[in-house]
Amino acid sequence: NLTFMLRFNALNSVQNKKPLQVAENGKRSELFAINVFNEVAMRQLMTRDAFDAVMNAIQYGTKIDRRVADQVAASMRDWAISKGATHYTHWFQPLTGGTAEKHDAFFEPVTRDSAIERFSGNQLVQQESDASSFPNGGIRNTFEARGYTAWDPSSPPFVYGTVLCIPTIFIAYTGEALDNKTPLLKALSAIDQAATEVARYFDKNVSKVTCTLGCEQEYFLIDRTLANTRPDLMITGRTLLGHEAAKGQQLDDHYLGAIPSRVLAYMRDLEQECLLLGIPVKTRHNEVAPNQFELAPIFGEANLAVDQNSLLMDVMRKVAERHDFVVLFHEKPFAGVNGSGKHNNWSLVTDTGVNLFAPSKTPQKNLQFLTFFICTIKAVHEYEPLLRASVASATNDYRLGANEAPPAIVSVFIGEQLNKVLDALENMSGEEVSGKDKTELKLNVVGKIPDLFLDTTDRNRTSPFAFTGNKFEFRAVGSKANCGKPMMVLNTIVAKQLIDFKKEVDSLIEGGMKKEDAIFRVLRAYVKSSKAIRFEGDGYSKAWEEEAARRGLSNHKTTPEALRENITDKAIALFEGMGVLSKVELIARYEIALEEYVKTVQIESRVLGDIARNHVVPTAVRYQNTLIENVRGLKEIFGDAYQEVASEQIELIRHISEHIKVIHSTVEAMIEARKRANHLATFVERADAYCNEVKPFFADIRYHCDKLELMIDDELWTLTKYRELLFN
């Protein structure tokens, strides 16, 4: 164990501990985005033509021609070199999570003894990459394992370390998306079009609607040297065994508590790195569990916010190295201790500056608010299984529905006052809604809304999808997740709903109804038909599970089950109809997700088997031998009376043997189950087998190992314990 620690310490000492950038002096605002090739930098450094071309590409998705691209690339190169970059990379988000990059040098020899720094428009705009080692779900055969990365001008390039990172999409040679960004961009475009059309009922000046996103990132910080003594933490990102500490989070003394100075130093360093990269980090605080923290940026345009969250996670890992911490993004690193999520705060804003989910005091505007609000609730009701599937992963399965995180059932919380508003709307008679002189009533209904926002205290922490004043908050997203996935689904379903809404309202208007009345009529029908999704009670309770079943809501507790929702006829019709994902892409994604699931559970199973046999059992035997030695000695001294004197030790010897026996037989049985699972033909069968045949052994093995942890001499125990890992 000691050698293990020393080995990792040695590795650590090789790492560069110097911060990448130092800028302790001066105001932090002066650091903001200085390593980002944003509008300010472009305006300064690019020709007018090049600048206009990029701005048009950002705003309207127009193509940048190759000559202009050369100019853009040249400016970008010079800027990046001035920031210390020597390489560039097409930075993208593969379906396996995280980010991917392959660095190419600007440096290019021209003759035998001269060289230049080169970066052409072609190199900026598109790269062919050998993508054979990224999963493709059968889209490409390996012999044509070509993929393309293509520049996404709506997310600005940035210099990170010594590399110019160019955000790109990643698609197959045959055109199918192989990443999270491509369908997200399509979904964002769909919501833009659909929401703009609807917003124009209320204001003809609206020509664009942007989705905004703020991700609250939760994480654990663990001392690196201690974490290194735990193969489970290092390999799987979570502890596969370990008994709860005597003092955990029972006292609730950690939430918003004072941040320990060592952690604060980490946060300061991290925030500085983030600001340089244009990530507007704002809030930091202790979370509920020991060693758990949260970092929230100020919200921004969704595509950029997703990119920045991916980048943030990477920066967090790197800065943690400098501070001898390990940062854990796993949704449930410690049993019995709260897990980590990533609340996705979601809203829509018009180019006239109106947040479509912010109620206002004028009735006209409030009708607009109600329209978007109710359409969202309706969309969530219609497609709740897809939202559930969008956050499904092997790691999030340990968190969802675990009595401290949102349940696996999706429901919408809107608070008491808005419920009253919707109930009033629902209970109006058709007459009242369409009648001429009933404006009074409408005003009454909508007039209730503004009061709500003086009081947002009745926020329901158990709800997976909650309205929080001027935005919805999707809370079931896992801390490790790429937010692109849930954001793609949410925007697609709401876009679809808005399109349907528009059709219904238009047809009523064509039939001679007044616009406002038509809108009210359709909204009222939506309030009625989507009632089942609204829930204000305790989402963690057993009663809600039963009630939700009666309401016909899905409750998929495992990833393989949840993922099936992505390939139903309804899902395929939705995503194809909205132009977001094709059937081929959906099936490929389904397979990739299942494959990832299988691998994750398989690795956990192997590591657990190894630790149980190589750490726990040998340690138990060693301690048992000490006890046996002790009993022998007592026998020598006390003769026949030893049985009485050594009864505790003898009992302990017996218990240890019993636990060892069960551990051995359970690990054997688990290995057999794994073998059977591995031989199944499809990923669907394999995922089911890993979920239902292999995973259930984990809890048994853990139970007996944790019992031994309590019995065995602390000095002998090789694995760092919870009370040592969770120091704060």
Q: Which residues bind ligand ADP (CB under 6 A)?
A: 212-214, 216, 283, 296-299, 343, 345-347, 355, 470-471
Q: Residue 337 corresponds to which tokens in the numbers above?
A: 């201790």
Q: Which residues neighbour 110 within 8 Å (Cβ) at sequence distance 6 or greater? A: 116
- State the nearest-atom distance from the C-beta of 366 to ligand ADP, in Å: 17
Give one word for 685, left, alpha or beta, with left for phi > 0 and alpha for psi -120 to 50: alpha
Q: Residue 491 binds which one of Mg ion, ligand ADP, none, with CB within 5 to 8 A depending on kind?
A: none
Of 242 and 406, which CB lies nearer to Mg ion in the complex structure?
406
- State the nearest-atom distance from the C-beta of 703 to ligand ADP, in Å: 35
Judge contact between 571 and 586, C-beta under 8 A.
Answer: yes
Of 70 and 294, which CB lies nearer to ligand ADP in the complex structure?
294
- State the nearest-atom distance from the C-beta of 216 to Mg ion, in Å: 5
Residue 332 is a binding residue for Mg ion (CB under 5 A): no
- State the nearest-atom distance from the C-beta of 473 to Mg ion, in Å: 5
Q: By C-alpha distance, which of 183, 167, 20 is closest to 99?
A: 167
SS3 track for 586-637: HHHHHHHHHHHHHHHHHHHHHHHHHHHHHHHHHHHHHHHHHHHHHHHHHHHH
Q: Residue 333 binds which one of Mg ion, ligand ADP, none, with CB within 5 to 8 A depending on kind?
A: none
Q: Which residues neighbour 268 within 8 Å (Cβ) at sequence distance 6 or greater? A: none
β-pair type (342-350, 209-223): antiparallel
3-class state of residue 168 by DSSP:
strand
- State the nearest-atom distance from the C-beta of 495 to ligand ADP, in Å: 17
| Whole-angstrom distance, CA of residue 372 vs CA of residue 383 | 16
| Whole-angstrom distance, CA of residue 683 vs CA of residue 692 | 14
- State the nearest-atom distance from the C-beta of 457 to ligand ADP, in Å: 11
Q: Residue 107 corresponds to which tokens in the numbers above?
A: 């440096």
Report the first-to-last Cα separation within the chain, whole angstroms: 24
In the Cβ-directed half-sphere of 507, how many Cα atoms lie within 13 Å?
6
Near Mg ion by CB under 5 A, which window of 89-97, 256-264, 340-348, 611-619? Answer: 340-348
Of 216 and 604, which CB lies nearer to Mg ion in the complex structure?
216
Q: Residue 212 binds which one of Mg ion, ligand ADP, none, with CB within 5 to 8 A depending on kind?
A: ligand ADP
Give one word for 324, left, alpha or beta, with left for phi > 0 and alpha for psi -120 to 50: left
Tell me, rounded to whole angstroms, the distance of Cα 169 from its chain centroid. 19
Of 136 and 463, which CB lies nearer to Mg ion in the complex structure?
463
Q: Residue 15 binds which one of Mg ion, ligand ADP, none, with CB within 5 to 8 A depending on kind?
A: none
- State the nearest-atom distance from the C-beta of 600 to ligand ADP, in Å: 28
Q: Residue 355 binds which one of ligand ADP, Mg ion, none, with CB within 5 to 8 A depending on kind?
A: ligand ADP
Q: By C-alpha distance, which of 523, 369, 379, 550 is closest to 452?
A: 369
Of 172 and 490, which CB lies nearer to ligand ADP in the complex structure?
490
| Whole-angstrom distance, CA of residue 593 vs CA of residue 560 | 9
- State the nearest-atom distance from the C-beta of 349 to ligand ADP, in Å: 7
Q: Which residues neighbour 225 within 8 Å (Cβ) at sequence distance 6 or greater? A: 5, 8, 9, 12, 324
Of 153 and 464, which CB lies nearer to Mg ion in the complex structure?
464
- State the nearest-atom distance from the C-beta of 294 to Mg ion, in Å: 9
Of 182 and 463, which CB lies nearer to Mg ion in the complex structure?
463
In the complex, residue closest to Mg ion by CB: 343
Residue 343 is a binding residue for Mg ion (CB under 5 A): yes
Of 218 and 273, which CB lies nearer to Mg ion in the complex structure?
218
Near Mg ion by CB under 5 A, which window of 13-21, 61-69, 335-343, 397-405? Answer: 335-343
Q: Number of residues in contact with Mg ion, rule: CB under 5 A?
A: 2
Judge contact between 44 and 50, C-beta under 8 A.
Answer: no
Q: Residue 378 binds which one of Mg ion, ligand ADP, none, with CB within 5 to 8 A depending on kind?
A: none
- State the nearest-atom distance from the C-beta of 296 to Mg ion, in Å: 8
- What are the φ/ψ torsions at residue 149 (nearest 5 degrees)? -110, 135
Residue with tokens 């952690």: 263
Q: Residue 728 binds which one of Mg ion, ligand ADP, none, with CB within 5 to 8 A depending on kind?
A: none
3-class state of residue 158 by DSSP:
strand
- State the nearest-atom distance from the C-beta of 611 to Mg ion, in Å: 35
| Whole-angstrom distance, CA of residue 699 vs CA of residue 696 | 6
Of 12 and 355, which CB lies nearer to ligand ADP in the complex structure?
355
DSSP classification of residue 338: -
Near Mg ion by CB under 5 A, which window of 110-118, 287-295, 336-344, 431-439? Answer: 336-344
SS3 track for 518-562: HHHHHHHHHHHHCHHHECCCCCCCHHHHHHHHHCCCCCCCCHHHH
| Whole-angstrom distance, CA of residue 694 vs CA of residue 675 | 10
Of 227 and 295, which CB lies nearer to ligand ADP in the complex structure?
295
Residue 524 is a binding residue for Mg ion (CB under 5 A): no
Of 353 and 639, which CB lies nearer to ligand ADP in the complex structure?
353
Binding mask 183-222 for Mg ion (x = CB under 5 A): ---------------------------------x------
Of 213 and 410, which CB lies nearer to ligand ADP in the complex structure?
213
- Helix H or strand E segment including 105: strand 104-105
Q: Residue 153 binds which one of Mg ion, ligand ADP, none, with CB within 5 to 8 A depending on kind?
A: none
- State the nearest-atom distance from the C-beta of 296 to ligand ADP, in Å: 4
- State the nearest-atom distance from the C-beta of 343 to Mg ion, in Å: 4
Near Mg ion by CB under 5 A, which window of 83-91, 195-203, 337-345, 416-424? Answer: 337-345
Q: Residue 214 binds which one of ligand ADP, Mg ion, none, with CB within 5 to 8 A depending on kind?
A: ligand ADP
- State the nearest-atom distance from the C-beta of 350 to ligand ADP, in Å: 12
- State the nearest-atom distance from the C-beta of 345 to Mg ion, in Å: 7
| Whole-angstrom distance, CA of residue 119 vs CA of residue 459 | 51
Q: Residue 330 corresponds to which tokens in the numbers above?
A: 């796993």
Judge contact between 293 and 286, C-beta under 8 A.
Answer: yes
Q: Residue 338 binds which one of Mg ion, ligand ADP, none, with CB within 5 to 8 A depending on kind?
A: none
Alpha-helix residue ranges (DSSP H) falling in 109-180: 121-125
Of 46 and 375, which CB lies nearer to ligand ADP in the complex structure?
375
| Whole-angstrom distance, CA of residue 292 vs CA of residue 299 | 22
- Within residues 544-603, the interface with Mg ion by CB under 5 A covers none
Give one word for 37, left, alpha or beta, with left for phi > 0 and alpha for psi -120 to 50: beta
- What are the φ/ψ torsions at residue 95 (nearest 5 degrees)? -70, -15
Of 344 and 624, which CB lies nearer to Mg ion in the complex structure?
344
- State the nearest-atom distance from the C-beta of 412 to ligand ADP, in Å: 16
Q: Residue 101 corresponds to which tokens in the numbers above?
A: 């990059």
Q: Residue 341 binds which one of ligand ADP, Mg ion, none, with CB within 5 to 8 A depending on kind?
A: none
Of 346 and 690, which CB lies nearer to ligand ADP in the complex structure?
346
Of 297 and 560, which CB lies nearer to ligand ADP in the complex structure?
297
In the complex, residue closest to ligand ADP by CB: 214
Binding site for Mg ion (CB under 5 A): 216, 343
